[in-house]
Amino acid sequence: MNAPYDKVAICPGTYDPVTEGHLDIIARAAVLFDRVVVGVVAASPRKDTLFSAEERVAFLRESLADTDSDIEVEIFDTLLVDFARKWRARALVKGLRAISDFEYEFQMAQLNRKLAPDLETIYLMASPEFSFLSSSGVKEIAKYKGNVDDLVPPAVARRFAELFR
């Protein structure tokens, strides 16, 4: 799994689908940590997913294939803190786009802190060019045949083209 000296972070999410904003956060986390594990939520309790967990993992793996960083992608269907313990992670890394993200993320961070006081939650501010970008927004654009080529990795754009001909 990982050596005890590794600084491991988990970047959890639904990634339905992965966007360029997600990839930016993952890449920035990879600079800060020895290993980044992208945890793909198998089934979200908050929303239905368009893509299967396996498809979301495939999008991520293809998108991250050319990175030199130590990045793993794995599906999980447990408490996030248990997934983090499995990897001996020190931190959860998440992106924040706007104040509207903060309320939910603050609640989740406090719950995770209660369950795992030794696990830090670190927020990276979205890069300005991605501050408006969301998976749900991308799905809506694609559904109505808008161009999402610069918002998502090529594998996702191709899949959208197949789905919404």
pLDDT digits (tens, 9 = 90+) for 33-75: 999 999 999 987 778 899 999 999 999 999 999 998 899 999 9
The verdict on residue 143 lying in a domain is no
Q: Any catalytic annotation for residue 47?
A: yes
Tell me the pTM: 0.93
- Segments in the chain below pLDDT 70: 1-5
So what's the pLDDT on residue 3?
56
The verdict on residue 26 lying in a domain is yes
CATH classification at residue 15: 3.40.50.620
So what's the pLDDT on residue 46?
78
Q: Any catalytic annotation for residue 139?
A: no
CA separation, residue 141 to residues 65, 126, 160 (Å): 26, 20, 10
Report how far residue 62's alpha carbon sits from residue 58's, in angstroms, rounded to the nearest whole number: 6
**Beta strands at 120-125 and 91-96: parallel, antiparallel or unpaired:** parallel
Please name the helix (run of DSSP H) or strand (run of DSSP E) that holds residue 64, with its range, or none.
helix 53-64
So what's the pLDDT on residue 100?
77
Please name the helix (run of DSSP H) or strand (run of DSSP E) that holds residue 91, with its range, or none.
strand 91-96
The verdict on residue 92 lying in a domain is yes
The verdict on residue 103 lying in a domain is yes
Domain interval for residue 32: 8-131
Marked catalytic residue, from 44, 47, 131, 145: 47
Number of domains in the chain: 1
